[in-house]
Structure 1
Amino acid sequence: MQLQVLNSEAADIDIIFGFYDMAIAYQKKVFNKHWQGFGREMVQAEIDENRQYKILVDGVVACVFAVTFNDPLIWGVRDQDAIYIHRIVTHPEFRGYAFVKEIIKWAKDYAMKKGLKFIRMDTWADNKKLLEYYTGCGFDYVGLVTMDRTNGLPKHYEGISLSLFEIAL
């Protein structure tokens, strides 16, 4: 099996949105909250800025994720020296491949090259299954934040509480 983490390209945008649609359908089945869609402009900007990624398994897109380097609305005064991972979606045919651990390996290498001190992510505060999964992957739970201001964030962030996770490098 050959696994590659590559930047997504403009031609991948429909694949990315297909993954988001699959994720939303799955979230509706297993949890009481779900993503409420994303703007194509936002995803296109991530692609243009080399912040949207895909994981290929033997040449097939198996997972997508995005990163950012600033997340002030979520992380507040701690928003510094980090790579923030968002919207990890695994194709159902590739569940069980531990892509979060692969993303962590990739992010550690990326962060070290860029002089960053943390890998960070967030999820809904009441999603116990994901909270346990992320800590099992090596993230430390570092707190809870309730979203007051969400300008510029996707709609599903409005009025929610998030659990925050980080790996210190």
Structure 2
Amino acid sequence: MRIVPAQPSDLPQLLAFRTEAAGWLSRLGTDQWQFPYPAAKLLETVEDGTVFIVLDGSATAATITVTSEVQAGLWTEQELSEPSMFINKLSVARTHAGQNIGGRLLDWAGDRACRAGATWLRLDAWTTNEGLQAYYLRQGFRHVRTVLDGEAINGGPRVSGWLAQRPTHPADHGFADETPEPGRPGGG
């Protein structure tokens, strides 16, 4: 399997991933991702070069966004002073579920963040999706805190305020990495 930067032509597939994931999550009993993601906003992140896809032959198996940009209102100034990369929108196609592609993508993201000079790989997860939170804990993340509606630092409502991080490190993720070298993260 190869990991490559997503292209604007991948937008329909990325939106389909989000819809597929929302349906799967709904069947698991969570309301995560039940509202359509704005295509223009997703296209903007694709064009910024922060969205990546995993290709299994010609099939798109997964996607992840890795960025030095942070969601407002989640992390403290002290935490933001530490070099960090942030992941979001991790989705694995149901056709490729059960193959640890998500875990390998997290390892790839941690390796990418390490090569960029980041100390931390950070994420925010849906506050009510305990299954997802447990998954990230099994993947070596440590829960930092949960930011609820009305508690966000510097304002902003939150439904995705379960914060976690793990140290970055080189990793053997098993993907053929066809992405450009990462830029330096913020902080530090």
Structure 1 length normalisation: TM-score? Answer: 0.86
Cross-structure match for 2:179: none
Equivalent pairs, count: 160
Cross-structure match for 1:45: 44
- Select the structure that is richer in strand: 1
- Select the structure that is richer in helix: 1
What value does the CA root-mean-square deviation take over the aligned residues? 1.7
CA deviations over 1:21-67 (Å, ceiling 9, x no partner): 11111122112312112111211111111111111123310111212
SS at structure 2 position matched to 1:129: helix
CA deviations over 1:98-156 (Å, ceiling 9, x no partner): 12221122112211221111111121223221111111111111111124433xxxxxx
In structure 2, what is the Cα distance between the partners aligned to 1:147 and 1:86?
19
CA deviations over 1:41-98 (Å, ceiling 9, x no partner): 2111111111111111233101112122121322232234211111111111111121
Matching residue within 25, 35, 40 for 2:23: 25
Higher mean displacement: 92-101 or 14-23? 92-101
Alignment of 1:5-24 (within 5 A): 5-24=3-22
Structure 2 length normalisation: TM-score? Answer: 0.78
Alignment identity in percent? 18
Matching of residue 73 in structure 1 with residue 60 in structure 2: no
Which runs of 4 or more aligned residues in structure 1 lie more than 3 Å from their structure 2 counterparts after TM superposition? 147-150
- Relative contact order (C-alpha < 8 Å, sep 6+): which is higher? 2
In structure 2, what is the Cα distance between the partners aligned to 1:18 and 1:5?
18
Please, which runs of 5 or more residues in structure 2 have no aligned partner? Answer: 169-188
